[in-house]
Amino acid sequence: MGENEMLQASEVVELLAVFTNDEIQNGLLQYHISGPRTAAGYLRKPAGGDLYQFLMNLRGKAEAEAWLATRIKSTPKSNTRKHPTPEAKQRMAELVKQAGYRKKVK
C-alpha cells in the first residue's frame, strides 16, 4: 500500500470508530446487497463518508425499530369490544320491537 492509500484507510478507520464491529460487518453485508451499482451492475467502491452515512442510516433504522417494538410492548391492550349493559340491552330490545321485529335481544 502506498502512502496515499494508507492515509485513506486511516481516515476510514477514524470515521467508523463510532460503530461496533457487528454494526460494521452487518453494514458491509447490507452494502454489498443493496449498495449503489454502476451501469454495468458492479458494486461501486464506497468512500469512507459513504460507508459512514450508510451505517448511520442502518443504525437509525435499527433504533427506530427497537423504539417501535418497545412502544408496542408497553402499550396496554384495551378490550375494544365491550358487553352491553342491561340498560343497553333493554334499549336495543325496545328499538327492535319498534322496528317491527319479534326477535329478543339477549
Flag whether pLDDT at 13 surpasses 70: yes
Asked if residues 31 and 51 have their Cβ atoms less than 8 Å apart, the reply is: yes
- C-alpha to C-alpha distance for 90 and 106, rounded to whole angstroms: 9
Quickly state the pLDDT bin for 104 (edges 50, 70, 90).
low
Residues 65-102 pLDDT 10s: 777 777 776 666 655 567 778 888 888 888 878 777 76
Residues 20-37 pLDDT 10s: 888 888 888 888 888 888
Q: Residue 85, Cβ neighbours under 10 Å: how many?
A: 9
pLDDT of residue 39: 92
* pTM check: above 0.85: no
